[in-house]
Amino acid sequence: MKSYSQGYVQVYTGDGKGKTTAALGLAIRAIGAGLKVFIAQFLKMGEYSEIKTLKKLSDHITIEQFGRPRFRQGKPLPEDVEAAQKGLEKIKAVMAAGEYDVIILEEANIAVWKGLFTEQDLLDIIDAKPIGMEMVITGRGATAKVIAKADLVTEMKRIKHYYYNGVRGRIGIEK
């Protein structure tokens, strides 16, 4: 781990487009500086377009997915909770090993909201961040306590969104 600073906790939340892409862009920047990046994706399964690109840079980046994007009747099953818990364990192990410079917890705020793990679980993860590691947490609905613990918080606010004009899920733009 190249600890060039103490490392901070960044949160990207809000209802606008740009949270996941901001985290990805940060990963790209970090890789360019020779840093190593671990991305844990909650509530995502499958090979999104960005993963195809990032795999080409695989010596400096690791991506792991921990759970399905949607639950039957909107409620998580025990297997969904299990997948997310596995994610938390993995994140703790990654932080303890100290091999990575940046760790990105994609949709972790949503995971709390959906009950896949508790707010306290996420706060514990933040507290366990080693000095020198940068942590990035994404997902709408960041709780007040998560915001309080973060060093940087950007709210991506939807001013206008074409989603409401019937555009959604284009390969290469939204996924």
Q: Give SS3 for 64.
A: strand
Strand pairing category for 61-66 and 134-138: unpaired
Q: Compare residues 41 and 88 and give the one whose CB is closer to a second copy.
A: 41
Segment interacting with a second copy, rule: CB under 8 A, options 63-71, 77-85, 116-124, 155-163: 155-163
Amino acid symbol at 14? G
**Contact predicate 65/41, CB 8 Å:** yes
Separation of alpha carbons 125 and 158, rounded Å: 29
96 sits near a second copy (criterion: CB under 8 A): no
Amino acid symbol at 136? V
**What is the nearest approach in angstroms of a second copy to the Cβ of residue 32?**
3
Separation of alpha carbons 121 and 59, rounded Å: 30
Segment interacting with a second copy, rule: CB under 8 A, options 38-46, 108-116, 123-131, 146-154: 146-154
**Contact predicate 43/68, CB 8 Å:** yes
Judged by CB under 8 A, which of 20, 41, 65, 109 binds a second copy? 20
Judged by CB under 8 A, which of 12, 38, 42, 117 binds a second copy? 12
**What is the nearest approach in angstroms of a second copy to the Cβ of residue 158?**
6
106 sits near a second copy (criterion: CB under 8 A): no
Residue ranges in 39-58 that form contacts with a second copy under rule CB under 8 A: 48-54, 56-57
User: In terms of Cα–Cα distance, which of 33, 30, 27 is closest to 12?
Assistant: 27
**Contact predicate 61/54, CB 8 Å:** yes
Binding site for a second copy (CB under 8 A): 4-5, 8, 10, 12, 14, 16-26, 28-35, 48-54, 56-57, 101-102, 134, 147, 150-163, 165, 167, 170-173, 175
